[in-house]
């Protein structure tokens, strides 16, 4: 049976100075994931790696360490030109992004 995984909340959600940055990050997350997926489909692996590394750095700064690790995995797979592994890591990152969006306080 399919197990539903829980929403992911920022470990930094109580840091007032980061509240707006977290909001912007979560709101723009779907678009960023789409861009990574589009770059992978176009076989622009350098672009995939660059976008994933940028996402990883922001995720880490804003309290999403699991997403940061996953995004770094996408970047490494893109740099290694690891076809199936790259697709798997992007699927994992996409699922994490959905859980982050569900866990965000603005989510309905």
pLDDT (tens digit per residue) in 16-64:
999 999 999 999 999 999 999 999 999 999 999 999 999 999 999 999 9
Residue 106's pLDDT is what?
Answer: 53
Per-residue pLDDT, 53: 98
Q: What is the pLDDT of residue 105?
A: 66
C-alpha span between 101 and 107 (Å, rounded): 7
In CATH, what number is assigned to the domain containing residue 82? 1.20.120
Nearest alpha-carbon partner for 32 in 8, 1, 56: 56
- Kindly state whether residue 96 falls inside one of the protein's structural domains: yes
Range of the domain at 72: 16-103
Stated pTM of the model: 0.90
The band of 108, judged by pLDDT with boundaries at 50, 70 and 90, is: very low
Write down the H helix ranges in the chain: 19-27, 29-41, 45-61, 65-79, 83-103
Q: For residue 108, is it within any domain?
A: no
Please state the domain count of the chain: 1
């Amino acid at each position: 049976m399919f197990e539903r995984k829980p929403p992911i909340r920022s470990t930094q959600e109580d840091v007032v100075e980061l509240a707006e940055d977290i909001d912007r990050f979560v709101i723009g997350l779907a678009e960023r994931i789409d861009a990574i997926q589009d770059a992978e489909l176009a076989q622009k692996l350098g672009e995939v790696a660059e976008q994933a590394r940028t996402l990883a750095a922001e995720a880490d700064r804003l309290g999403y360490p699991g997403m940061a690790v996953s995004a770094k995995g996408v970047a490494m797979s893109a740099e290694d030109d690891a076809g199936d592994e790259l697709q798997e890591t992007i699927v994992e990152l996409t699922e994490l992004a959905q859980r982050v969006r569900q866990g965000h306080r603005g989510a309905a």
